[in-house]
Amino acid sequence: MAFSFPAMTAAIWQAGETVTGNDNLYLWIALAIGILGLLAALFFARSVLGSDAGTSEMRRISDAIRQGAEAFMKRQYSTIAMIAVVLAVVLYIGYRLSPFTAPFANKVVISFLIGAACSALSGQTGMWVSIRANIRTASAARTSLGKALQLALHGGAVTGLVVVGLSLLGVGVLFLAFGGLKNPQQTPYELVGFGFGASLVALFAQLGGGIYTKAADVGADLVGKVEAGIPEDDPRNPAVIADLVGDNVGDCAGRGADIFESTAAENVGAMILGAALYPVFGLKGILFPLIVQAINLVASIVGVSMVHSGETEDPMHALNRGYYVTSVLALAGFAAAIYFMLGARWWLLGCGICGIVTSFLFVRITEYYTETRFRPVRAIAQASTTGPATNIIQGLAVGMETPALPVIVISAALLLSYYFGTKGLEDVTTVSTYAKGIYGTAIATMGMLSSAAYILAMDTFGPITDNAGGIIEMSNQPDSVREKTDKLDAAGNTTKALTKGYAIGSASLAAFLLFSAYLATIHDIVHQRVAAAGGTLPDTWSFSNVNLASVPVFVGALLGAMLTYLFSSMAIKAVGRAAQTVIQDVHEQFRDNPGIMQGTSLPDYGRCVRIVTTAALKEMVLPGVLAVSMPLVVGLIFRHFGGEFNPTALAEGPLIGGLPINLSGAEAVAALLMVGTISGILLAMLMNNGGGAWDNAKKYIETGAHGGKRSEAHKAAVVGDTVGDPFKDTAGPSLHVLIKLLATVTLVLAPLFL
């Protein structure tokens, strides 16, 4: 880690004037708003819990979902806790081994554990409310669509506010506890463990939940709809509760952990870059990301409160209104923060606008590729008329096309925000142009995440309404009620798809920020080593030579890209294996208890839930361990054996401060991180958008196109939808998390690669 900041500043960024003043106030404001955010979450939770909880028939179903979800979460987080403790011990030992890192072992391990705990806590809390909001939404739908919409959104808002609030409080309190107000330039480097802890929990939460949800879904469909010929959500299907549980643990807990990780990693990374600008902005530059998160909370609370809908309005209109309110407020807050904290440098507001526009464009592009009114979904529906093969071919072709526009948007956003960053800080002479530009890209990332809490509320809205629909279906409510929940469900499907676009967009922008933080960290470690050996680091040296022409770097890049494919393959196969256990159990239940199909006796829902829980948790371990261990193994191997291959590490290469320092490990890992990120972004877009397009092509045909339900085209479209399921709900979202995990794990492990 970088614990000798002034020297580092001198080396990379050319130290200069420092700014003084009582800027501590900003930290207190951020912490206070963080607490306010949690209080608002409590308020929304109480308003949800105070609503009518439906008939006893509905409660029976809801209780089964709740128990299943809670049982899964409990076992899942026990498993994750064990993995986290093992990793904490490994981290501690790894840090203890070298005299350079030993003094920081405690702080890294503590921040790691707190990051993991906060992530777990926010996941648990959000889930706790969601599985109680579903029945209340269902109950409200019996009388009012508007009321049901509000309840579902308020339930979702709990997740959104808790995630962002805990992320803000976690980073803020650790900053305070680690002495950030006394030693502001050094402390951000000590927080990297927090990001890693959050990532680790996010990876396993998303993987485990993603495998669970799709195993239950595919299993229930194959044995219910296909074999037994009973409709979706039919109470005779023993896997039906497992399926409804899956909506919660996969979509809701998974995406919450994903966004928690994004904000945590972004906060820490942006604070590290802010520390580099200490000569310009002082403490304010470091606290800026926390204030942006505080603005996010306030804007989102207002946005959620503004959502009201009439009985006949499309629910998406109401949700979008809230989103626009949140965005405008966030932008205004952003401008105020730039005025007060960054010296009214309006070019930097341009960076923030870049981020906001990027998130808007990502959402629109996702819409274009996944909504029924545009060409791609129509083309898949059309291709379904010639059978499942052409449906699949067209879907994959659409999936492979999807990265093109987002890549151009991200490229433009990076270049523009870099440029605006250099313009905004043009008059500053004590900081390099490169540092200015990189700070611009960091501000763009903050801009993009400045409405995260609202986005997450909309996202969690999805599984709540999905569950509400299931409860209505299973408790045999009249069709008029079902129509209302169907409307909500459709809106929920849209928000889920859009959030995935948002999540991958933020992952792409944040990747660059985190990569810069990694390079800064390596630079600082080299500086320490050289200083400890009595040498001095030349002013001109900087660790920015991740040279793709060097063999270990190229190999690291290849391995990084390969990791994303292998990880996806494992995740998809895990769904298949876990689904097999569901199918087997349902077969056994049908065989042992013929009364189930006759409707005379109830299936054992719990047994199915337990079986898929066990299977999903078993299956999540291997891909998760692969993701964590691959950067470590590559870094260590090249650290020990890479010297021979690296031109800069050999006697004839330049010595660093008079010492031959082997950078092979650090460079190979940098390439693994960067090219793994690029490959992961593209693969995730392929899978998310391809899966979403298949899903909606099926829905489009169900509205009557190409022969409608029960036509050959529909059968073909069902095949595409089933293929898309593990793509868009397991492997794709897990890849978002993997990308950020790669960034945080390399940040934490950086000292071990040198």
Which residues inside 699-718 make contact with its own copies, applying CB under 8 A? 718
Q: Give 18 or 569: the residue with its C-beta nearer to its own copies.
A: 569
Q: Supply the minimum distance, in Å, between the C-beta of residue 575 and its own copies.
A: 8
Q: Which is nearer to its own copies, 221 or 466 (CB)?
A: 221
The torsion angles phi and psi of 264, rounded to 5 degrees, stand at: -65, -50
Stretch that binds its own copies, among 268-276, 279-287, 318-326, 674-682 (CB under 8 A): 674-682
| 35 interacts with its own copies by CB under 8 A | no
Question: Which of 63/401 has CB closer to its own copies?
Answer: 401
In the range 75-114, which residues lie near its own copies by CB under 8 A? Answer: none
Pick 114 or 718: Cβ nearer its own copies: 718
- Span of 307-315, 367-375, 469-477, 722-730 interacting with its own copies by CB under 8 A: 722-730
Residues 202-241 binding its own copies (CB under 8 A) are 222, 226
User: Is the Cβ of residue 125 or residue 646 nearer to its own copies in the bound state?
Assistant: 646
Q: What is the DSSP string of 85-124?
A: HHHHHHHHHHHHHSTTTGGGHHHHHHHHHHHHHHHHHHHH
- Would you count residue 32 as binding its own copies (CB under 8 A)? no
**Binder of its own copies out of 18, 106, 143, 411 (CB under 8 A):** 411
Which sign, positive or negative, has the C-alpha torsion 683, 685, 690, 692?
positive
Task: Report which secondary-structure segment, H or E, holds 63.
Answer: helix 56-97
Q: Minimum distance between the CB of residue 740 and its own copies, rounded to whole angstroms?
A: 17
Report whether 181 contacts 27 (CB < 8 A).
yes
Least distance from its own copies to the Cβ atom of residue 643, Å:
11
Binding span for its own copies by CB under 8 A among 176-184, 261-269, 291-299, 648-656: 648-656
Q: Residue 647, interface with its own copies (CB under 8 A)?
A: yes
Q: Does 652 bind its own copies (CB under 8 A)?
A: yes
Whole-angstrom CA distances from 643 to 148, 552, 555, 640 are: 63, 9, 14, 7
CB 522 within 8 A of CB 543: yes
Q: How many residues does the chain have?
A: 754
Q: Which is nearer to its own copies, 290 or 520 (CB)?
A: 520
Token couple for 206: 């998303």
Closest separation between CB of residue 567 and its own copies, Å? 9
Could you tell me which residues are beta bridge partners of residue 656? Answer: 659
Instruction: Give min distance, CB of 735 to its own copies, in A.
Output: 11
Q: How many CB atoms lie within 10 A of CB 419?
A: 17
Question: In the set 566, 636, 655, 659, which binds its own copies (CB under 8 A)?
Answer: 566
Out of 654, 658, 660, 704, name the contact with its own copies by CB under 8 A.
654
| By CB under 8 A, residue 569 contacts its own copies | yes
Which residue of 363, 507, 546, 663 would you call a contact of its own copies, by CB under 8 A? 546
Residues between 432 and 491 that touch its own copies (CB under 8 A)? 432-434, 437, 441
Indicate whether 558 belongs to the interface with its own copies (CB under 8 A): yes
CB within 8 Å of 115: residues ≥ 6 apart: 170, 193, 194, 195, 196, 197, 198, 201, 264
Determine if 662 is a binding residue for its own copies (CB under 8 A).
no
- Is 486 or 712 the residue whose CB approaches its own copies more closely? 712
d(CA 601, CA 238): 11
Structure tokens at 243: 């399926």
Q: Is 404 in the site for its own copies (CB under 8 A)?
A: yes
* Distance in Å, CB of 321 to its own copies, minimum: 34
Q: From the list 686, 738, 742, 750, which residue makes contact with its own copies (rule: CB under 8 A)?
A: 686
Of these, 164, 316, 555, 752, which contacts its own copies (CB under 8 A)? 555
**Other CB atoms closer than 10 Å to residue 210's CB: what's the count?**
30
Of 278, 512, 590, 605, the one binding its own copies (CB under 8 A) is 512
Nearest distance in Å: CB 568, its own copies: 5
Query: Pick from 229, 167, 498, 502: which is nearest to 357 by CA?
Result: 502
Choose between 337 and 555: whose C-beta lies nearer to its own copies.
Answer: 555
Euclidean distance between the first and the last CA atom of the chain, given in angstroms as a whole number: 12
Q: Note whether 625 binds its own copies by CB under 8 A.
A: no
517 binds its own copies (CB under 8 A): no
Asked if 593 is part of the footprint of its own copies (rule: CB under 8 A), the reply reads no
Alpha carbon 463 to its chain centroid, in Å, reads: 16
Q: Of the candidates 719, 738, 741, 745, which one interacts with its own copies according to CB under 8 A?
A: 719
**Which one of the spans 115-123, 317-325, 415-423, 491-499 is the region binding its own copies (CB under 8 A)?**
415-423
SS (H, E, C) 124-154: HHHHHHHHHHHHHHHHHHCCCHHHHHHHHHH
What CA–CA distance (Å, rounded) separates 428 from 156? 43
With respect to its own copies, which residue has the nearer C-beta, 62 or 516? 516
Contact range with its own copies by CB under 8 A, out of 71-79, 149-157, 251-259, 670-678? 670-678
Q: Compute the least distance from the CB of residue 685 to its own copies, in Å.
A: 8
- The CA distance from 256 to 125, in Å, is 10
- 8 Å CB contact between 57 and 139: no
Helix (H, G, I), strand (E, B) or coil at 400: helix
Taking each helix axis from N to C terminus, what angle separates 452-474 and 479-532, rounded to the nearest 10 degrees?
140
How far is residue 69 CA from its own chain's centroid? Answer: 20
Calpha distance 336→457 (Å, rounded): 25
Interacting residue with its own copies among 117, 173, 176, 562 (CB under 8 A): 562
Part of the chain binding its own copies (CB under 8 A), chosen from 3-11, 84-92, 317-325, 559-567: 559-567
Quick one: tokens of 218?
């595919």
Cβ-contact 145, 488 below 8 angstroms: yes
| Contact pick of 73, 88, 163, 572 for its own copies (by CB under 8 A) | 572
If binding is defined by CB under 8 A, does position 674 make contact with its own copies? yes
How many C-beta atoms lie closer than 10 Å to residue 408's C-beta?
A: 12
Among 43, 92, 340, 645, binds its own copies (CB under 8 A): 645
Give the residue among 248, 363, 379 at the shortest CA–CA distance from 316: 363
Among residue numbers 370 through 399, which ones bind its own copies (CB under 8 A)? 383, 386-390, 392-394, 396-399
> How many other CB atoms are found less than 10 A from the CB of residue 615?
24
Count the site residues for its own copies by CB under 8 A.
Answer: 83
| Neighbouring residues of 375: CB distance < 8 A, sequence distance ≥ 6 | none
DSSP 218-243: HHHIIIIIIII-PPTT-TT-TTHHHH
Contact 150, 136 (CB under 8 A): no
Pick one of 47, 547, 593, 711: the residue that binds its own copies (CB under 8 A): 547
Residue from 410, 425, 617, 701 in contact with its own copies (CB under 8 A): 410
Q: Report phi then psi at 211, rounded to 5.
A: -65, -45
State the nearest-atom distance from the C-beta of 524 to its own copies, in Å. 15
